[in-house]
Structure 1
Amino acid sequence: MEFIALDILPFSVVDDVCFRRLVEHRYTLPSRSYFSDVSLPELHSIVETYIHELLAMGVTAISFTTDIWTSDVSPISMRSLTAQWVNEDFVLRKAVLHAQECAGSHTAAAISMAFEKMFETRKNPKNKVHAVLRDNAHNTTKALEECGVASLPCMAHTSGNR
């Protein structure tokens, strides 16, 4: 699973002829469904626990970045929440805490509710939020105001809108 996850490969790599030639013939490879149904959820749980432990170790302030991506070629929008923090040894750390489909309306109320769930689900108390870096969309700005967290506009979005 580490091979697939770290190199961001599709599960189907285990079915590729060249990959199978690399693996010793006595070894029986797990199926794609094993990786998607068993191995990936296990790895997700391990990584999630590790990230929560990192965030609990003397971290007093966390900065976040967020965005909603909409594609011209797909009806699916995606929402993400990434955390950045400095640990007690002054080492910059970062982790993607949330990435999922952004279904439904992109109103400020809907986005605000999604952020509340993200903070709650990921056990990130809002009192640790230093700031959320966001795009300049009015709905996102208003949503974060409704959540009661400080937010800042993305410089690239700001300078590009002159």
Structure 2
Amino acid sequence: MYTFSLPGNRKQDLDDCFVNFIFKDSQPFSVVEDVGFKELVAKLDPTYALPTRKALKNMVVAKYEEEREKAKAEIQGVETVSLTADMWTSINMDSYLAVTCHFVNKNDQLSTHLLGTRNFPRTHTAAHIAAEIKSPAPAAASTGVDLWRLLDHEAHRARHMQSATANAIVEVNRYLADPPLERTDDALTYWATHNTVYPNLYELSKHFLFIPASSMPCERVFSKPGEIVLSGAEDEMTSSSPW
């Protein structure tokens, strides 16, 4: 009987793909013990050894820390963000609150990050939701970014903004004289390619175009994970942190 081992780079690539599979599809750690899944992996690559549940958990935690630092750095590099929140209640009457952050990144592309999800045992009133988000362990604490102070700063700056200059007025009039975008055109692409033609309006676009029209991005947080909670697998996917 012959045994083969994967080259280091190949094994790392497969491990990374496997962790992404757990993340993106919200799979429980027990998937590594499913007979059908093991047969599928063996058929695809007989030389790949699936990690144990404990090893997989450590890999997921490491990936989480890596992605968390990336999200923190990206959020800290933008001027304005939009926050959306959504709540979900299981058939066992366990409630959860999730907060997502939306903005235009440095490449003029829409970007969304889940700031956190936590149990929400209180009644779903606006006062309770606001108090929960501002509590010592809110979504902002998870990313290391004080979003509320950022929003207060922007509001303060807006109140003290000087009147529009003559150049800005000319720019707006020139923009209004241009033909409107087609319905199929991408507004972000338009402003990215016209940032030198309309510099002031381009800056404004980065402050408003990322605001979602609904809480749909936040609601997606509960679509697949909701099945895991209902199947009793939430204990495996819950970290020690409330967010």
Normalising by the smaller structure, the TM-score range is: 0.5 to 0.7
Q: Is 1:14 equivalent to 2:32 in the alignment?
A: yes
Corresponding position of 1:80: 98
Corresponding position of 1:65: 84
| Alignment partners' CA distance in 1, 2:21 and 2:89 | 29
Give the drift of 1:42: 1.3
Over residues 8-62 of structure 1, what are the superposed CA-to-partner deviations in whole Å (9 max), with x where a residue is unaligned?
32222211223222235554422223323x12221111111110111122x1000
Matching of residues 35-46 of structure 1 within 5 Å: 35-36=56-57, 38-46=58-66
Secondary structure at 2:92 match in 1: coil
Give the drift of 1:127: 3.6
Secondary structure at 1:8 match in 2: coil
Larger Rg: 2
Cα root mean square deviation, aligned: 2.8
Using the TM superposition, name which of 6-15 and 77-86 deviates more: 6-15
- In the comparison of the two structures, how many residue pairs are matched? 132
The unaligned stretches of length 5 or more in structure 2 are 1-18, 156-210, 216-243
Higher relative contact order (CA 8 A, sep 6+): 2
Q: Is 1:29 equivalent to 2:47 in the alignment?
A: no
Q: Quick one: percent identity of the two aligned structures?
A: 26
Contact 2:104 2:111 in 1 (8 A): yes
Aligned-partner residue type, residue 150 of structure 2: K
| Alignment partners' CA distance in 2, 1:16 and 1:30 | 13
| Alignment partners' CA distance in 1, 2:26 and 2:67 | 15
Give the drift of 1:64: 1.0
The unaligned stretches of length 5 or more in structure 1 are 132-151, 157-162
Give the drift of 1:2: 2.0
| Alignment partners' CA distance in 2, 1:7 and 1:66 | 21
Aligned-partner residue type, residue 50 of structure 1: K
Matching of residues 1-162 of structure 1 within 5 Å: 1-21=19-39, 22-23=41-42, 24-25=45-46, 27-36=48-57, 38-57=58-77, 59-71=78-90, 73-106=91-124, 108-116=126-134, 117-122=138-143, 123-129=145-151
| Alignment partners' CA distance in 2, 1:27 and 1:108 | 50
TM (norm. structure 1) is 0.67
Secondary structure at 1:30 match in 2: coil
Going from structure 1 to structure 2, the CA distance change for 1:88 and 1:78 (only over 3 Å counts) comes to same
| Alignment partners' CA distance in 2, 1:70 and 1:6 | 22
TM (norm. structure 2) is 0.47
Give the drift of 1:109: 4.7
Larger relative strand fraction: 1
Larger relative helix fraction: 2
